[in-house]
Amino acid sequence: MDHSVAMLSVLGIAILFIIILSIKFRIHAFISLTAACFLIAFATGMPLNKIGASIETGMGGTLGFLAPILALGAIIGKMMEISGGAEKLSRTLINFMGQSKAAWAMMIVAYICGIPVFLQVGIVLLTPILFCVVLESKQPLVKVALGMLTSLTVVHCIVPPHPAAMAITLALKADVGKVIFYGLLVGIPASVIAGPLFGGLIAKKYDFQPPEAYCKMEPTPDEKLPPFGITLFTILLPLLLMIGKTIIELVADKNAPYMPWVSFIGSPIAALFLAAVLSYYIMGYKRGYSLADLAKRTESAMGPMATIILVIGAAGAFNRIILDSGIGDILKNVLTAIHISPLIMAWVIAIVMRFAIGSATVAMMTSAGFITPVLAAYPALDPALVAVAIGAGAIGASHVTDPGFWFVKESMGIPMDKMFGIYTAATTIASVVALIGVLILAAVLGQ
């Protein structure tokens, strides 16, 4: 058998191995990915003394930068949760836009609130607000819900500092500010078309009723909520700092005396640290929480990080094994010979992996491992566009293999026979629209 075919067969078997372990035997993604690392290493004949070192390098290189970002993002999300910041944003926007635009208001709120929190946390945070809004506005629940759910899913996949988005940004050596900026640009039309517009089209056929537990909820009095302006500023601060750094570096003299400060303050860790400290004060201490209370809340926010950190670390090790085993070079030769845009290639790999494995995080990290060797043949291509293309692919095709699919179903109370027509369809539409956005953006930038 040809060596290249044999090596690619090993990779295919490893991917199938991950899918079977994750879906058929319900083995945790961390164990599945680590087992696949050993499978590739042994099957390709890697020296035994290099296998452990390769896994350590892949895991450590990914998490060394990412772990503090995950922790700081979790703190900001927790402070927003306990302060009622999300409710304040939604109430202000709905009062400004009108009850008839409730779906659009929830889309904007989810787009903003989804930036520092995970998809599941965002759903927990915004679901009570969503049902209150629907009951008050009399708008179709499916339309308003898709405005929220699509925004949360889109931001989760394509906008750092979300874990997978930040991890692939790091893996591809892309500029964080550019990935944020491109992701936000591409994500807006994806959220609009797959959210309120698509939700409005299917409202008659696929509408559903709120769970009974939410039908008698009372809104929080305004005086108990934080101010709108400072809440919005706190959430957006890390993005403003990171995007600002990118813009200043493009237009300013790189030897200017202030540039080291710009680079420092606009770095992801510094930007998120400043936002976390501000959120501690504005959304925590100033709202009447003691420092001891805030310490307990912070500790509770860190618990869910463990699983995500382990999965991303194992995915980083898997990507490193692909490169160190020699499969990366073969992938580069095969994929570049296909003569397809690497942006489309990245999207296709990501959505196929998303459909097969379910987890957007695993799909994105695995896709980065596939596409990284290919980028050497396209030195002029901005890796930030590739990162957003991968994220766009991971948005789509959410179905029964995706834990988020079941979380959405149970949280929203959507009947199973309607989930595919609502959430699976919406995520796939958003994925396609986001890809089109990436391709248009690449054309405008001359990539």
Q: Cα(241)–Cα(387) distance, rounded to whole angstroms?
A: 20
Q: For position 198, what pLDDT does the model report?
A: 93
- Nearest residue to 17 (alpha-carbon basis) of 45, 40, 1: 40
CA distance 187 to 436: 11
Helix H segments across 138-217? 141-158, 163-171, 176-192, 198-201, 203-206
Contact 441, 384 (CB under 8 A): no
193 band by pLDDT with thresholds 50, 70 and 90: very high
Give, for 242, the enclosing helix (H) or strand (E): helix 228-251
CA 124 to chain centroid: 16
Q: For residue range 237-282, what is the model confidence (pLDDT) as tens digits?
A: 887 888 888 888 877 777 788 888 988 888 878 888 998 888 888 8
Dihedral pair phi/psi, residue 283, rounded to 5° = -95, -10
Among 106, 146, 86, 70, CA closest to 361: 70
Give pLDDT tens digits for 349-395. 889 888 877 778 878 888 888 888 888 888 888 999 999 999 999 99
**Phi–psi pair at 377, nearest 5 degrees:** -85, -5
Tens digit of each residue's pLDDT (9 = 90 or more) over 12-31: 888 888 878 876 787 877 88
Amino acid, res. 26? R
Distances (CA, A) of 92 to 69, 227, 232: 29, 10, 11
Looking at residue 440, its amino acid is I
Helices (H), 283-424: 291-302, 305-324, 327-337, 342-357, 360-375, 383-395, 403-412, 416-419
